[in-house]
Amino acid sequence: MKRSQELLDILNRIDGRGYKAYKDIQGKYHMGSYILSIDHAQSDPFAPPSKVRIIMPQDNSSFPQELFNTKSRKIALEDLIARKFKTASQSFLKKRGTGSSGLIEIDCGAQEIIERTSVKIDKGKLEVRLYIGLPAHGRKIVSKEAKHIFFHVLPKIINSSLLYKNLDKSEIERFVYINEDQDILRERLSELNLVAFIANGSILPRESGISDRPLLTAKRFISPCSLEMEIDLPYSGKIKGMGIPKGITLIVGGGFHGKSTLLRAIERGVYNHIPGDGREFVITVKDAVKIRSEDGRCVTGVDISPFISKLPSNIDTKNFSTQNASGSTSQAANIIEAIEAGTSLLLMDEDTCATNFMIRDGRMQRLVAKRWEPITPFVDRVRELYEKFGISTILVLGGSGDYFDVADNVIMLKEYQVVDVTKQAKEIAQSIKNCREKETLEPINLPKKRIIGPGSFKIREKDKIKARGLSTISIGKTNIDLFFVEQLVDKSQTNSIAQFFKIIDKKYLKNKNAISDIVDSIINEIEEKGLEILVPFSNGHPGSLAMPRKYEIMAAINRYRDLRLMN
């Protein structure tokens, strides 16, 4: 362990030298109440910023153990500390030369609380992983600015964000315990026979199309009396709201009255939300998957025959592959892949679904005989999915009353207010008889596990695997497009998924492993050892990873155009 004076001496010695001389400052320095670990110094001012850690003994940070003695609390506290550090650092942001000079950055979330690697806390220490742009003019080192960052700016940020005594105790407790209440409520949904719960007073609309913050002027959610229930939580006490039961639920109403807004809140309810978001108690079963059509996506070896069979030219739909799926074939594949991943709830919005996949009315059935129509519409499978496999569906509809016959609950949005219209919908279904015929041919079966064989990924040694923002992963020259994987919410999740590809390629392709089993194995290892297993420390800390769900990981694998499977 080096002394802080040694860091000063090195910075004085390399002042004005070429930028690569910053490599000399790599190492650990005792800075008094904490250790400064410079894990990786960037080689160029325009390269990704340097990787730095703050390691502080718990005797100095002094966060009470009861704030991180469960997994839920630990994730929440680490999340909040990252936010506090980011807020404190923003007041010191200043351009200090060329490239990223002067940058001080930490990975933290937006509205969702997700397990991350940027902050780690345990009984012994608090560790914060950040990025610093080392100052330069041109490509020459500017030691004066570097010393200012390490000996003036960082101590101030640390003092205001990492010491429990300097933070708002009630704010920390509220953040940690609301997060735990959300986890508890999500775990209780199944025993309550629910797939989702929306608390009274929730704010569902967002600020704008580019902001996920709450629209504070929006009408707050109020449950209809028929679906209202009260739930008692350890820290938030009794809360009332709308419980959405297992089964088939339709969300109907006129255009622009809030149907899609409600569904979007439900689909994000698989994550916990920060206090003040408005969706703190919009809670959905953790395995819910948003389904949509996705023209142009690749599909590899998926049995879409429950929905599409007897295609022209005798195309095999029991082992269907294409590089350019249509709206209906992509939606069928998305459903089967979600079932393969283990979902218990499908979420759909009519606006983003293929019309011919969702419904074929009686008039069209008379004009185009079933023997000429390869698609079995979802309306004829949705009931079977629930009764046979326990897979519920929440569906936004505005144009087809044919679903009234198969629905368990129908709720209507009127100017963002919810009304239970199940009774009226059933009366309409009885009084106006449906003239269409059910079109299922064979009973649906659970999809077989698809096996990845040796060399199936075709990932070469020279291929770089990396995330490019929220919606793209590149593997060599091949891009995986995740734009329509709508429950992926954080670019650090995408970064983690990219690392999954590296592990799969190195550890799991020698044997005959199913996609779902491989993903389960890696997730189990993460549960045991932490997200850090995805990225070794050899090139600096892994400070920009966030935990993805199994369903988004498998979605990325399924959209890899060079995926090859065993027959």
d(CA 312, CA 89): 61
Query: Can you read off the two tokens belonging to residue 567?
Result: 């027959």
Read out DSSP for 213-226?
Answer: EE-TTSPPP---GG
Strands 465-467 and 289-291 turn out to be unpaired
Q: Which residue has the tokens 């109403």?
A: 253
Q: CA torsion 484→490→496→500, rounded to 10°?
A: -20
Q: Are 3 and 32 in contact (CB under 8 A)?
A: no
DSSP code of 49?
P
Given CATH 2.60.40, say whether it is the number of domain 189-448: no
Q: Which residue has the tokens 């919908």?
A: 425
Total Cβ atoms within 10 A of residue 476: 13
In angstroms and rounded to an integer, the radius of gyration of the C-alpha atoms of the chain is 27
Q: Are 222 and 306 in contact (CB under 8 A)?
A: no
d(CA 195, CA 182): 14
Give the closest residue to 239 by CA, choosing from 286, 192, 176: 192
Extents of the domains making up the chain: 2-167, 189-448, 451-558
Q: What is the pLDDT of residues 134-148, one digit of tens each?
A: 999 999 999 999 999
Q: CA torsion 245→249→255→260, rounded to 10°?
A: 60
Tens of pLDDT along the chain (567 residues) come to 899 999 999 999 999 999 999 999 999 999 999 999 999 999 999 999 999 999 999 999 999 999 999 999 999 999 999 999 999 999 887 778 888 889 999 999 999 999 999 999 999 999 999 999 999 999 999 999 999 999 999 999 999 999 999 999 999 999 999 999 999 999 999 999 999 999 999 999 999 988 999 999 999 999 999 999 999 999 999 999 999 999 999 999 998 899 999 999 999 999 999 999 999 999 999 999 999 999 999 999 999 999 999 888 788 899 999 999 999 999 999 999 999 999 999 999 999 999 999 999 888 988 998 888 899 999 999 999 999 999 999 999 988 899 999 999 999 999 899 999 999 999 999 998 888 888 877 889 889 899 987 767 777 777 888 999 999 999 988 999 999 999 999 999 999 999 999 888 777 777 778 999 999 999 999 999 999 999 877 777 899 999 999 999 999 999 999 898 887
Q: Are 453 and 565 in contact (CB under 8 A)?
A: yes
pTM of the entire structure? 0.94
DSSP code of 375?
B
Q: Are 38 and 50 in contact (CB under 8 A)?
A: yes
